[in-house]
Amino acid sequence: MSRKLLKFIRIADGKPYADAFSHETRVGHWLKLAGFKAKDIKYQPYGTNNPPDWVVRVGTKWIHVECKTSKKSRAAFNDTPPSNNTLIVFSSKSHNDTMVFYGGDVYKKGVRKKIDEYIKKVRLLEKRYGILCTKSKRSNPYGFVPGFRLRLQQRGGMKVTDFFVLETRDELVRKAKQRHI
């Protein structure tokens, strides 16, 4: 339980939209407003292109906080789907709204397992064909190999994908808050 994280969720939830850079910046500000000290917050600890955007020390654990923005209302993740314990702060331009939820609350374990299997298979294919393409410098002097940019995205129409009008929106935020009561 963390009162500071609960306060952070309350601060962030319902705020208006902000573009990606502004959103990441304001999340850091909200973490400080919630009472986290600078030594307990790290921005982009694994680099600019790797998740999470923030890590926050809560007791002896570090919680990942991922900032997401969309001009619409669907979240997309690159090749690292959010873990069960990643706190997502998602801001939508079309709804001018921000919500907070945990990664594990938006898909069932079986779905996550299938996603992980898919990513593993794609990585194996990349490696296999990359090796084949680079075996001969004569036939491939510039080293071009196939590479995929994986992306986890939502499909199924607005009734399935619009976080901000789904009946589950409030349920997702409530679950996130309950972890810290």
Specify the DSSP class assigned to residue 100: E
How confident is the model at residue 167, as a pLDDT?
Answer: 65
How confident is the model at residue 4, as a pLDDT?
Answer: 95
On whether residue 140 sits in a domain, the answer given is no
Token pair recorded at residue 90? 């998602």
On whether residue 68 sits in a domain, the answer given is yes
Pairing of strands 41-43, 76-77: unpaired
Q: Where residue 168 sits, what CATH number does that domain have? A: 3.40.1350
In which residue are the tokens 């907070």 written?
100
Task: Read off the pLDDT of residues 165-175 as tens digits, 9 standing for 90 and up.
Answer: 766 788 888 88
pLDDT beneath 70, residues of the chain: 1, 132, 134, 156-161, 166-167, 181
Q: What is the extent of the structural domain holding 31?
A: 3-106+152-178
How confident is the model at residue 73, as a pLDDT?
Answer: 78
Taking a C-beta distance cutoff of 8 angstroms, is the pair 101, 88 a contact?
yes
